[in-house]
Amino acid sequence: MNLIKKYITMFRADMKEAMTRRCGLDELNNFIMLIGFIFVLIALFTSNWICTLFGAIFIVLCYVRVFSKKLEKRQKENSIYMRYMGGVVAFFDYYKLCIKMRFRTMQDTEYYYFVCNTCHQIIRLPKGKNKISVRCPKCSQTFVKRT
C-alpha cells in the first residue's frame, strides 16, 4: 500500500511539472467543451454521425488548447473571445452566483444571502427584519431588500 502512495505522489508531481508550461483551462476552452458535449448529446438522441463527428472535433480541439505550450497564442485567442463574449460570460457567472446564494439562503435558518447588482459582493442579512435599507460594504450602493 505504501508503494502505491509513493507512485501516486510521483505521478502528481510529474503532472504538476508537465502542466506548469501548458495553457490549461480558460473561458474559451469551457465554451468549446460545452459545444462539443451539446453535439454529443444531440448525436445520442438522434443517432446522427455528423453530430458525433462535430462533438468529437470540438472536444479534441479543447484538449489541444489545454495542453498547448503556445501560451501567448492561447491567451490572445481567449482575450478575443472575452472581448466579444465577456458580457455573456459575466452575466452567467452572476446568475450562477445568485442561484448559489438562493440555495444557501434556503439552507440557513438565520440569514438571507444576496448578491450586489453593481460589484457582485455577497451580502448577508438577518431573516425576519421585513424591508430594510442595505448599503453594500464594497461599492457603497444602497438599496431596499426584503428579508
> Is pLDDT of 32 > 90?
yes
> What pLDDT shows up at residue 1?
65
- Other C-beta atoms within 10 Å of 128: how many? 8
What's the pLDDT tens digit per position in 62-98?
A: 999 988 888 889 889 999 998 998 888 888 888 899 8
- Angstrom CA distances, 74 to 28, 30, 45, 100, 119, stand at 9, 13, 33, 31, 28
* Positions of E strands within the chain: 111-115, 122-126, 131-135, 142-146
Average pLDDT over residues 24-51: 91
Return left, alpha or beta for 131; rule: phi > 0 is left, psi -120 to 50 is alpha, else beta.
Answer: beta
Q: Can you read off the three cell numbers belonging to residue 139?
A: 461599492
- Whole-angstrom Cα distance, residue 93 to residue 106? 20
C-alpha to C-alpha distance for 21 and 144, rounded to whole angstroms: 48
The confidence band for 31, taking pLDDT boundaries of 50, 70 and 90, is very high
Residues making up the chain, counted from first to last: 147
- Give me the chain's average pLDDT, please: 88
pTM over cut 0.75: no
* 57, containing H or E segment: helix 49-66
